[in-house]
């Protein structure tokens, strides 16, 4: 059982390109190898927050190899949601070159509104064909109406992440995370379990997310990053949908 709830790769990580993170792509690859992982996504913050990477970072990133030292390397971004109409902070010309785009609300990039606005924001972001995954949705400052958003994710065929950095970065997220996991189980929406690591030493540490998923008996085969095959299939399908 333990084995079934183990990730094979981390899909939400930051490098020195986000200035409040402290490892390089090479170090994250090396750490992935040490941990016996099979894939890695590097997802630095979009340019419209103080510590975000600039657009040239994302252009350059897209030119790195798809496989580095035996690790499947997904080029990603964690874009900032900038308004409740769903604007995000990278242009489509760059987004289309990336493999894994997470969209999140951050205090540094958008002032919280009310519950209806946050809900509207997520619904609009889901419609953006370049967004692959919704990030740390449990944040109490951006509370939203869970059910319609999870249903919209189901219809779109997209996924969300359960973020293991939430108890530190977004205190009070747990109750929301539990409700979101329950709804994903009810509507059969796949998830990924991510570290949101800002340095190599907690890369792949998704114990918080996995404990919640296990407790709620979320089917491990619907946690897509427990299998390289499942995540490859998802990225490939999304790539076709982005054309």
Residues forming the site for Zn ion (CB under 5 A): 78, 104, 196
Shortest distance (Å) from residue 122 CB to Zn ion: 14
Residues 6+ apart with CB under 8 A from 204: 7, 10, 31, 32, 35, 37, 195, 197
The closest alpha carbon to 214, from 180, 181, 165, 176, belongs to 181
Shortest distance (Å) from residue 196 CB to Zn ion: 4
Shortest distance (Å) from residue 197 CB to Zn ion: 8
DSSP H or E segment with residue 39: strand 39-45
Shortest distance (Å) from residue 20 CB to Zn ion: 10
3-state secondary structure of 73: strand
Shortest distance (Å) from residue 140 CB to Zn ion: 14
Q: Between residues 10 and 120, which has the closer beta carbon with respect to Zn ion?
A: 10
**Burial class of residue 147, CB neighbours in 10 A (0-12, 13-18, 19+):** middle
Q: What is the DSSP string of 102-143?
A: EEE--TTT-----HHHHHHHHHHHHH-TT--EE--TT-GGG-
β-bridge partners, 93: none
Number of Cβ within 10 Å of residue 138's Cβ equals 24
Shortest distance (Å) from residue 160 CB to Zn ion: 13
Shortest distance (Å) from residue 141 CB to Zn ion: 12
**Burial class of residue 40, CB neighbours in 10 A (0-12, 13-18, 19+):** buried
The closest alpha carbon to 182, from 144, 131, 155, 219, belongs to 219
Residue 167 is encoded by which pair of tokens? 């108890």
Q: Between residues 126 and 147, which has the closer beta carbon with respect to Zn ion?
A: 126
């Amino acid at each position: 059982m333990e084995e079934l709830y183990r990730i094979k790769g981390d899909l939400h990580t930051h490098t020195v390109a986000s200035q409040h993170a402290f490892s390089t792509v090479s170090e994250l690859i090396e750490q992935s190898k040490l941990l016996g992982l099979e894939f890695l996504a590097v997802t630095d913050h979009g340019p419209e927050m103080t510590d975000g990477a600039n657009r040239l970072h994302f252009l350059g990133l897209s030119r790195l190899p798809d496989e580095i030292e035996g690790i499947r390397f997904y080029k990603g971004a964690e874009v900032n949601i900038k308004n409740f109409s769903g604007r995000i902070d990278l242009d489509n010309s760059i987004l289309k070159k990336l493999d894994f785009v997470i969209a999140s609300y951050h205090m540094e990039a958008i002032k919280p509104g009310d519950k209806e606005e946050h809900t509207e924001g997520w619904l609009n972001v889901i419609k953006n064909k370049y967004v692959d995954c919704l990030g740390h949705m449990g944040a109490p400052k951006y509370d939203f109406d869970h059910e319609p958003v999870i249903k919209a994710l189901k219809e779109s065929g997209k996924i969300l992440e359960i973020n293991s950095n939430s108890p530190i970065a977004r205190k009070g997220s747990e109750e929301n995370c539990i409700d979101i996991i329950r709804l994903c189980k009810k509507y059969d929406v796949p998830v990924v379990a991510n570290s949101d690591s800002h340095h190599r030493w907690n890369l792949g540490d998704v114990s918080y997310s996995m404990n919640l998923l296990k407790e709620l008996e979320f089917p491990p085969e619907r946690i897509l990053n427990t299998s390289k095959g499942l995540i490859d299939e998802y990225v490939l399908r999304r790539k076709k949908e982005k054309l």
